[in-house]
Amino acid sequence: MKIRTWIYICIMGVAILLTMSGCQKNSNVKQPSGLGTQNNNSKGEKVSISVQAVVKGIDTRSQTITLYDIDSGLEKIVSYNGATEIFSRNKVALLISQLTCGEIVEAYFEGNDQVLAKIQISKEAWEYKKIKAIDLDRTEGIVNLTGRKYKYQKDVAVFYGTEQQMLIDLNERDEITVKGIGDQAYSFVVTKGHGYIRLGGHEDFLGGSITIDKNIFLKVQQNMLIAVGEGEHTVVVENKDMQVVENVRVARNQEYFFDMSTYEPEKKEIGKVKFVISPSNAVLYINGKRRNYTSLISLPYGNYTVTVRAEGYQDYTGILHVEESEKEYETIYVDLVMDNSVTSVTPTPKASTTPAPTLPPGTKRTAKPTVTKKPTRTNMPAATDTPTDDEHKININGPNGASVYVDGVYKGVAPVSFPKVLGDITITLSKTGCQTKSYSVTVDDDGENVEYNFADLIKKE
């Protein structure tokens, strides 16, 4: 009897084990590895997993997508296939090629977190497009977007197309789309990158100023390399009475060599004029500005409005032509009268002027461009120096042999040290045969030296 009871107990035990094994085998859900949130049905079986994530990579060859789970902070590579559904924010079907890095999505998995069942751009996500000169507080980890502040992590996702980079790679000249949820920014997508303008042959303009698109103002110095946004730019270089204006196109990550040696400054474009005015207490105005006429007046070639006034006399206003002449100076007589007759501005009888050459309408100039007299400009910001801490240094230790520029100004060849420049600055590295690279950093006024050792530059293909 005891033997039969023992056999019965054994049979029942095996039956229970088989039943338990069958439940596990028939379940179509595997235990997830920590990604996303599990949704259970009424029987308690795990049937789906949902993830709110940032798309950090798409590999169409291996049919995988790299997701950064916003809630858990985990990053995982998952697979997709022909059955995977892809939707826009408004549930419009998309192709995998229309899904871009930096998107914030809702990802759904059926059964496990290895193969995507559906992915949809998150309705909760916000985005700011075409942000230029992005306002980042790198110390506090805050980005200011049209007056609103959002937090971001130091390892926030930054993308140049499909290429993932770091926050330090962003340049203030880049055009950026920022995406996030709530008060947190989760991705920076560069829609327009930056390139560089290198000045050459600009010796005649040293000490002057360079203006790019009316938003970059720098003093002209030797060996300049200036970071600018990719695309077309208007460059104005000035020094005293000389000015060069040129439209240039800069490609992403490429240098545009602005060779100013092709421009010919006209050394003799200043004319001298002597005014003899009656009565002697009359006041002379040239282009509305009062001038002292007791000595010779130097004026660049061109046309000027001359006004002469004296109490009790009729004002005179006329046009003065200053042009090339073989004489050292031209003498101009102005006689004001007290009646209604019209006075005139006439040259001395011995003086003669030659009309300036003109071209018929529509004629194109084929000669090299020339430097011209710069027009009067108002309300333009002046080029200013970046604040520095002269008692401390910025040390650029690498890459070895790279030329170092700070905000376009040459500092030397790495390893190099120079006075500590404060605030948000752009450090640009250039080396023959390599791709130029720039980094945006914030240098605090903390009374300490700063050390940087950047990665080696990539060789050009």
Q: How confident is the model at residue 23 (pLDDT cuts 50, 70, 90)?
A: very low
Does residue 337 contact residue 278 with C-beta atoms inside 8 Å?
no
Quick one: how far is CA 344 from the chain centroid? Answer: 54
- Residue 413 has, within 13 A of its CA and on its CB side, a CA count of 5
Is residue 369 over pLDDT 50?
A: no
CA distance 329 to 363: 32
CA distance 384 to 423: 14
Q: How confident is the model at residue 328 (pLDDT cuts 50, 70, 90)?
A: confident
360 vs 174, residue with greater confidence: 174
pTM of the full structure: 0.65
- Residue 136 has, within 13 A of its CA and on its CB side, a CA count of 29
Mean pLDDT of 117-128: 95
Does residue 184 contact residue 152 with C-beta atoms inside 8 Å?
yes
β-bridge pairing 157-160 and 184-192: parallel
Is residue 366 over pLDDT 50?
A: no
Token code pair at residue 318? 């006329």
DSSP state of 376: P
CA distance 425 to 404: 13
Q: SS3 of 364, please?
A: coil
What one-letter code names the amino acid at 401?
G
CA distance 216 to 320: 36
Per 3-state DSSP, what percentage of the chain is helix, strand, and coil (rounded to 5)? 10, 50, 45
Angle at Cα 101 formed by Cα 100 and Cα 107, nearest 5°? Answer: 85
Q: How confident is the model at residue 64 (pLDDT cuts 50, 70, 90)?
A: very high
Mean pLDDT value across the chain = 81
What's the confidence (pLDDT) of residue 101?
Answer: 94
Give residue-wise pLDDT tens across range 263-279.
Answer: 765 555 788 899 999 99
What's the confidence (pLDDT) of residue 460?
Answer: 87
Angle at Cα 431 formed by Cα 236 and Cα 244, nearest 5°? Answer: 10
Does residue 375 contact residue 359 with C-beta atoms inside 8 Å?
no
- Among 210-214, 236-240, 241-245, 289-293, the minimum mean pLDDT is found in 241-245
Across the chain, which distance is largest between two alpha carbons, in Å?
Answer: 151
Q: How confident is the model at residue 340 (pLDDT cuts 50, 70, 90)?
A: low
Give residue-wise pLDDT tens across range 146-172.
Answer: 899 999 998 898 998 888 888 899 898
What's the confidence (pLDDT) of residue 26?
Answer: 31
Mean pLDDT of 15-35: 35
- Among 4-18, 41-55, 80-94, 146-160, the minimum mean pLDDT is found in 4-18
Please name the helix (run of DSSP H) or strand (run of DSSP E) that holds residue 26, with its range, or none.
helix 2-26
What's the confidence (pLDDT) of residue 4?
Answer: 43
Distances (CA, A) of 100 to 88, 146, 392: 11, 25, 44
Q: How confident is the model at residue 356 (pLDDT cuts 50, 70, 90)?
A: very low
To the nearest 10°, report the CA torsion of 236, 238, 241, 245.
Answer: -20
Is residue 456 over pLDDT 90?
A: yes
What's the confidence (pLDDT) of residue 279?
Answer: 92
Is residue 435 over pLDDT 60?
A: yes
Mean pLDDT of 365-386: 46
381 vs 145, residue with greater confidence: 145
What's the confidence (pLDDT) of residue 18?
Answer: 36
Alpha carbon distance, N-terminus to C-terminus of the chain: 88
Is residue 411 over pLDDT 60?
A: yes
Tell me the β-bridge partners of 66: 57, 77
Q: How confident is the model at residue 361 (pLDDT cuts 50, 70, 90)?
A: very low
The per-residue DSSP string of 248-316 comes to EEE-TT-EEEEEGGGSB--TT-EEEEEEEEESTT-EEEETTEEE--SS-EEEESEEEEEEEE-TTS--E
Domains in the chain (CATH in brackets) are: 37-121 (2.40.50.320), 126-192 (2.40.50), 194-262 (2.60.40), 270-347 (2.60.40), 388-453 (2.60.40.2070)
CA distance 170 to 177: 12
